[in-house]
């Protein structure tokens, strides 16, 4: 042990022992003394943060807010000796929570919001619970986030806070969408919009419309998605909500990418990245870069794709975005498979599946399992492929139409061709192809059909869509 470490270790033991020897009343007095000394050293008491959540999100932080959590702790323990510290504790807890959120320390943020929720009542309590749930959601702790939002919703009902109710419903819908419950999520988005429009909260309406537009995109309603995102962008600009504008551009980029408008997709992705950097949101920047890397990959710009994905992964890990990290791992595995490393790709896909399970992302769990099954099929491991397809399709069918379901139904049809079951293969092909067409994903249809023709030719079977190889 180094001398410095030994000193620190012994010093901590001596400090703790001395603390325990003090009577509780004197401990409280020491904490009160420490609170006032530290507060004075940091420039004196701060103003309370705005109660309105819009102003709170835009509120500037002080350098001293890095010590807000410590000050809140001294205030809590010092209150028996100095009752005036109770109000200071609430002020510093909100500052500590906001500082932690902006620093991507989501565990600390959730704890601070929860502690603050015990000090207030009514809509204020509901708002603190809602923000604690947002922090849990960012940690992919969906069950706990949903529980906290349920408590926040009850607060909104008890206090008649319609605006809070609308925001909580939007947050609940976002969690349901992330965990694959698209139908229920869409219903809650509608209820959220009703409440927010009733109180004329246009800023929040714009944010919910962006989420709804993404749900429309994921479920293949392209026209509705584009119209909804256009409206969301207009509201974000009108309300000067740069973060909402950034998110809407990111979703719009995915929509353009899905519909083969690559130039437009790149333009809005780059615009969104610039906005994310401007507002200092590394969480958003990482997600946008991940999608941009996939766009580069599809356009044959492999060096740019690799470099962009590496930047995205670094940001995902920096901010603790495990759901996005899992998605980016899937992108990396696809690239490895395309470059002739199927076994390495399977290992990365399996890691991605584990993360998606941990973060309750059922859609991507099913999608990644299907990707593993495709590699087994292409490598001639047909029994393994069939077993893995069965797991994948069981998940994806439960969630409803998606690109993953469509693609893997067609992939499964190719496996059935290889196993000599052309009749069942045609049924699965037709089901998958119908979903792809409904999503207007022409690239996916084209690429899937090209592979199907090769599989059928090798197996000596007629094409599954009833055409000849050269037909369109």
Q: Residue 282 in contact with residue 319, Cβ under 8 Å?
A: yes
Does 464 have pLDDT greater than 70? Answer: yes
Q: What is the pLDDT of residue 359?
A: 86
Using one digit for the tens of pLDDT, what is the confidence trace for 6-49? 433 445 444 444 445 455 556 677 777 777 777 778 788 877 77
* Token pair belonging to 424: 């069942």
Largest alpha-carbon pair distance within the chain? 90
> Domain coordinates of the chain in residue numbers?
22-50+64-119, 281-350, 387-394+401-472
What's the burial of 55, exposed, middle or buried (CB within 10 Å: 0-12/13-18/19+)? exposed
- Nearest residue to 325 (alpha-carbon basis) of 346, 304, 345, 311: 311
* Residue linked to tokens 């067609």: 410
Using one digit for the tens of pLDDT, what is the confidence trace for 227-263? 999 999 999 999 988 999 999 999 999 999 988 899 9
* Token pair belonging to 319: 């901010």
Q: How confident is the model at residue 202 (pLDDT cuts 50, 70, 90)?
A: very high
Q: How confident is the model at residue 81 (pLDDT cuts 50, 70, 90)?
A: low
Q: What is the pLDDT of residue 371?
A: 95
CA gap 167, 176 in Å, rounded: 14
> How many other CB atoms are there within 10 angstroms of residue 302's CB atom?
13
Of 7 and 387, more confident: 387
Q: What is the pLDDT of residue 27?
A: 66
Ramachandran category for residue 59: left, alpha or beta (phi over 0 → left; psi -120 to 50 → alpha)? beta
Q: Residue 152 in contact with residue 135, Cβ under 8 Å?
A: no
Does 213 have pLDDT greater than 90? Answer: yes
Q: Residue 411 in contact with residue 373, Cβ under 8 Å?
A: yes
**φ and ψ at 420, to 5 degrees?**
85, 15
Using one digit for the tens of pLDDT, what is the confidence trace for 301-345? 888 988 998 999 999 999 988 889 999 999 889 889 988 999 999
C-alpha distances in angstroms, 55 versus 173, 244, 306, 325, 457? Answer: 24, 15, 39, 31, 63
Using one digit for the tens of pLDDT, what is the confidence trace for 276-293? 999 999 999 999 999 999
Does 106 have pLDDT greater than 80? Answer: yes
Q: Residue 348 in contact with residue 335, Cβ under 8 Å?
A: no
Flag whether the pTM goes above 0.75.
Answer: yes
């Amino acid at each position: 042990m180094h001398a410095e470490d030994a000193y620190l270790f012994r010093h901590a033991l001596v400090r703790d022992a001395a603390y325990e020897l003090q009577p509780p009343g004197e401990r409280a007095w020491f904490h009160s003394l420490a609170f006032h000394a530290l507060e004075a050293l940091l420039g004196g008491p701060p103003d309370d943060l705005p109660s309105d959540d819009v102003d709170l999100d835009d509120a500037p932080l002080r350098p001293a807010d890095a010590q807000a959590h410590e000050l809140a702790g001294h205030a809590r323990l010092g209150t028996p000796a100095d009752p005036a510290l109770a109000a200071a504790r609430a002020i510093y807890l909100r500052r500590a929570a906001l500082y932690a959120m902006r620093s991507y320390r989501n565990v600390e943020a959730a704890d601070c919001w929860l502690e603050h929720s015990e000090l207030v009542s009514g809509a204020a309590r509901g708002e603190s619970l809602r923000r604690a749930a947002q922090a849990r959601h960012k940690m992919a702790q969906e069950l706990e986030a949903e529980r906290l939002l349920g408590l926040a919703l009850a607060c909104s009902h008890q206090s008649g806070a319609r605006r809070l109710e609308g925001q909580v419903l939007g947050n609940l819908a976002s969690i349901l969408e992330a965990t694959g419950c698209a139908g229920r999520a869409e219903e809650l988005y509608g209820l959220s919009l009703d409440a927010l429009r009733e109180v004329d909260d246009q800023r929040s309406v714009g944010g919910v419309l962006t989420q709804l537009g993404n749900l429309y995109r994921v479920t293949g309603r392209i026209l509705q998605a584009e119209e909804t995102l256009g409206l969301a962008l207009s509201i974000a600009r009108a309300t000067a909500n740069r973060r909402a504008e950034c998110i809407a551009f990111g979703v719009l980029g995915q929509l353009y990418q899905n519909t083969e408008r690559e130039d437009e997709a790149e333009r809005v992705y780059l615009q969104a990245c610039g906005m994310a950097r401007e507002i200092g949101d590394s969480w958003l920047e990482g997600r946008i870069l991940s999608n941009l890397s996939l766009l580069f990959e599809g356009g044959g710009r492999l060096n740019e794709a690799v470099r962009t994905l590496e930047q995205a992964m670094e940001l995902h890990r920096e901010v603790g975005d495990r759901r996005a990290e899992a998605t980016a791992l899937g992108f990396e595995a696809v690239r490895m498979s395309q470059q002739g490393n199927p076994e390495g790709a399977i290992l990365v896909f399996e890691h991605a599946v584990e993360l998606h399970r941990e973060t309750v992302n059922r859609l991507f769990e099913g999608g990644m399992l299907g990707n593993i099954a495709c590699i087994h099929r292409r490598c001639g491991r047909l029994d393994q492929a069939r077993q893995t397809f069965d797991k994948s399709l069981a998940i994806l069918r439960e969630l409803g139409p998606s690109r993953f379901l469509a693609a893997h139904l067609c992939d499964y049809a190719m496996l059935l061709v290889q196993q000599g079951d052309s009749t069942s293969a045609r049924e699965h092909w037709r089901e998958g192809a119908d979903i792809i067409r409904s999503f207007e994903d022409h690239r996916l249809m084209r690429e899937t059909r090209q592979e199907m023709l090769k599989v059928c030719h090798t197996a000596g079977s007629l094409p599954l869509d009833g055409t000849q190889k050269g037909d369109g």
